[in-house]
Amino acid sequence: MSMIAAFYGGKSILITGATGFLGKVLMEKLFRTSPDLKVIYILVRPKAGQTLQQRVFQILNSKLFEKVKEVCPNVHEKIRAIYADLSQNDFAISKEDMQELLSCTNVIFHCAATVRFDDTLRHAVQLNVTATRQLLLMASQMPKLEAFIHISTAYSNCNLKHIDEVIYPCPVEPKKIIDSLEWLDDAIIEEIAPKLIRDWPNIYTYTKALGEMVVQQESRNLNIAIIRPSIVGATWQEPFPGWVDNVNGPNGLIIAAGKGFLRALKATPKAVADLIPVDTVVNLMLAVGWYTAVHRPKSTLVYHSTSGNLNPCNWHKMGVQVLATFEKIPFERAFRRPYANFTSNNFTSQYWNAVSHRAPAIIYDCYLRLTGRKPRMTKLMNQILRTVSMLEYFINRSWEWSTYNTEMLMSELSPEDQRVFNFDVRQLNWLEYIENYVLGVKKYLLKEDMAGIPEAKQHLKRLRNIHYLFNTALFLIVWRLLIARSQMARNVWFFIVSFCYKFLSYFRASSTLKV
Ligand SMILES: CCCCCCCCCCCCCCCCCCCCCCCCCC(=O)SCCNC(=O)CCNC(=O)[C@H](O)C(C)(C)COP(=O)(O)OP(=O)(O)OC[C@H]1O[C@@H](n2cnc3c(N)ncnc32)[C@H](O)[C@@H]1OP(=O)(O)O
Ligand SMILES: NC(=O)C1=CN([C@@H]2O[C@H](COP(=O)(O)OP(=O)(O)OC[C@H]3O[C@@H](n4cnc5c(N)ncnc54)[C@H](OP(=O)(O)O)[C@@H]3O)[C@@H](O)[C@H]2O)C=CC1
């Protein structure tokens, strides 16, 4: 019997960010392994014209939850969506709902955050710092609370090279920042933001670091743990391999590469690609929830959910495997044949951007214009290049994350728990994982049918022929222009032609002699 699964039985669990990538996989696993849990409270806001109920309905009826319905048929009754907006005071939760949350919650998983790298400082602080503080305040009024699990990111201290499982202080106190945001206007905030974030690459990682400090300062006598995942990728094993549902992180780049838009990246091939499957992160979260509640460590423990020091894979290996998978299972209606050119050199990267990205987009837009259609490729390409430039920081560096606490926890688990809540990334086979990942992007993000693969392969062959034809035509045009203008080019041309003629004559003569 799994001790972790048993622990969550009969419990009331509060999850923030349950509608996000990590949150959905967390709920799925909880329902599947502990179907006898009492209730999962989720803090949700209406979004994109959908009510809370519609959002929950959509999640529960997605492919991700298919297995859950078999083991927990009454899952709809066990999920309680509570209207909440984490960027508002008291989260805009009604009094009755707040009362219920305060009196019933046993475990909190705080996943909600803004993960946009370019969010405004005001919004990012509201969500990643102030909301965390507010939730901790709520937690301190929960008599039945056994554990509070805060999800941060392994990159919250990416200004350091070696990162231990400790909370590092930030140069400016979170409280001072929260207070000053109350009276400063937006224009001034955006002006001081770059000075505040110093050597952090973006507002996201900086505010996640502030969030950790808030956890440390406001922990009171709560049982708290912090989990720091690196780049969270598709599911490795559970509930099935390759599940993804948004374009964040690598997902968008895999689409852009598979569709042939992105053919070069400013990346350091040998840098560690610290991807971690989402189900591995979720297993660690559940194990940490159990350990924190049952063993009550004296201080707030930080757990790294990373792959780099236990089972490293670099960007080169990852790129090669992604490309190999595109050969086997290509995406439909690609713009160009997928190709990967890694360079860590600024000049070469600019060159590839001009030749491989912008020029084809401009040419295609001309073609669209000439055929009476609206040009769109340049805009799309600019968007992709903007996204890539935001991610570049992370694919040109390597970090060392220590994993003592994570390994300690692994050794504390029973063999059954190690199997059911496996977060040992050493068992991950990267080649298999990446192949399933790309397949998952095709199936679950692009919603492409596997039956379309032969046609997609045919399309890639046509693109290859167009590519050869285009290059030959371009070569001939350039050469013709050169010959018209330069004596030297003419001399070279006559030399080549006479050389070929002599070679052919010799070949013909020797074959006649043989006969
Ligand atoms: C060496 C390989 C070589 C390959 C060679 C070639 C290929 C061969 C191999 C292929 C690659 C193999 C792996 C690749 C490496 C991956 C590295 C990942 C590092 C990640 C580090 C993460 C570390 C920290 C982890 C964490 O701790 S947390 C989570 C991380 N957080 C995020 O990942 C949010 C990022 N995003 C934003 O911050 C915003 O997206 C913003 C960007 C500001 C735009 O912002 P904006 O311009 O306003 O535009 P949007 O409205 O957002 O989007 C506008 C439009 O772009 C779309 N689009 C949004 N995103 C992405 C995205 N990624 N990629 C592409 N498209 C995207 C969106 O669908 C929308 O399309 P539409 O709907 O218009 O059709
Ligand atoms: N994905 C990754 O690569 C990594 C993620 N992390 C961390 O993991 C956690 C989860 O990330 P992930 O699932 O990928 O992110 P998502 O963007 O997929 O999910 C974010 C969640 O936060 C919720 N949220 C955002 N703003 C509000 C608000 N104002 N009120 C209520 N809810 C809100 C979103 O709700 P809604 O659906 O309404 O927008 C959504 O459920 C975050 O803390 C992130 O920092 C850490 C490392 C890597």
Closest-lying ligand 1 atom to the alpha carbon of residue 387: 42
Containing 21, the helix (H) or strand (E) segment is helix 21-33
The pLDDT value recorded for residue 1 is: 84
Comparing CA positions, the residue from 52, 124, 54 lying closest to residue 92 is 52
252 lines ligand 1 (CB under 6 A): yes
Quote the percentage of the chain above a pLDDT of 70: 99
Q: Which residue has the higher pLDDT, 98 or 508?
A: 98
Q: Residue 239, preceding bond cis, omega within 30 degrees?
A: yes
The pLDDT value recorded for residue 513 is: 65
- Closest ligand to the CA of 48: 2
Residue 302: DSSP 8-state: E
Closest-lying ligand 1 atom to the alpha carbon of residue 249: 33
pLDDT tens for residues 207-253?
Answer: 999 999 999 999 988 999 999 999 999 999 999 999 999 999 899 99
Comparing CA positions, the residue from 251, 211, 245 lying closest to residue 231 is 251
The pLDDT value recorded for residue 506 is: 85
For residues 38 and 101, what is the distance between their CA atoms, to the nearest angstrom?
A: 13
60 lines ligand 1 (CB under 6 A): no
Per-chain mean pLDDT for the chain = 95
For residues 53 and 95, what is the distance between their CA atoms, to the nearest angstrom?
A: 20
DSSP string, 115-182: --TT--HHHHHIIIIIHHHHHHHHHTT-TT--EEEEE--GGGGTTSSEE-SSPPPPSS-HHHHHHHHH
Residue 22 clears pLDDT 90, i.e. is over it: yes
Residue 510: pLDDT band by 50, 70, 90 thresholds?
Answer: confident
Q: How is residue 495 written in tokens?
A: 């030399």
SS3 of 315-338:
HHHHHHHHHHHHHHCCCCCCCCCC
For residues 57 and 151, what is the distance between their CA atoms, to the nearest angstrom?
A: 25
Query: Domain 3-240+278-311+399-419: what homologous superfamily?
Result: NAD(P)-binding Rossmann-like Domain (3.40.50.720)
- Closest ligand to the CA of 120: 1
- Closest ligand to the CA of 323: 1
What average pLDDT score do residues 284-310 get? Answer: 97
For residues 82 and 71, what is the distance between their CA atoms, to the nearest angstrom?
A: 24
The pLDDT value recorded for residue 514 is: 65
For residues 268 and 256, what is the distance between their CA atoms, to the nearest angstrom?
A: 19
* Ligand 2 geometric centre to CA of 112 (Å): 4
251 lines ligand 2 (CB under 6 A): no
Evaluated on CA atoms 43, 49, 53, 56, the torsion sign reads negative
The pLDDT value recorded for residue 507 is: 79
What average pLDDT score do residues 272-297 get? Answer: 98
Comparing CA positions, the residue from 199, 91, 200 lying closest to residue 153 is 200
Residue 374 clears pLDDT 70, i.e. is over it: yes
Quote the percentage of the chain above a pLDDT of 90: 89
* Ligand 2 geometric centre to CA of 151 (Å): 10
Which residues, in sequence order, are bridge partners of residue 206? Answer: none
Q: How is residue 17 written in tokens?
A: 């960010």
pLDDT tens for residues 302-333?
Answer: 999 999 999 999 999 999 999 999 999 999 99
Comparing CA positions, the residue from 59, 35, 132, 144 lying closest to residue 100 is 144
Q: Which residue has the higher pLDDT, 168 or 475?
A: 168
Termini Cα distance of the chain: 85
pLDDT tens for residues 129-156?
Answer: 999 999 999 999 999 999 999 999 999 9
**Residue 453 burial (CB < 10 Å; 0-12/13-18/19+)?**
middle
Among 14, 15, 16, 22, residue to substitute to test ligand 2 (most atoms within 8 Å of Cβ)? 22
pLDDT tens for residues 324-365?
Answer: 999 999 999 999 999 988 999 999 999 999 999 999 999 999
For residues 357 and 383, what is the distance between their CA atoms, to the nearest angstrom?
A: 12
Comparing CA positions, the residue from 72, 93, 94 lying closest to residue 84 is 93
Q: How is residue 30 written in tokens?
A: 């909880």
Residue 391 clears pLDDT 90, i.e. is over it: yes
Domain definitions of the chain by residue range: 3-240+278-311+399-419, 456-514
For ligand 1, atom 42, name the residue with the nearest CA: 387
Residue 515 clears pLDDT 60, i.e. is over it: no
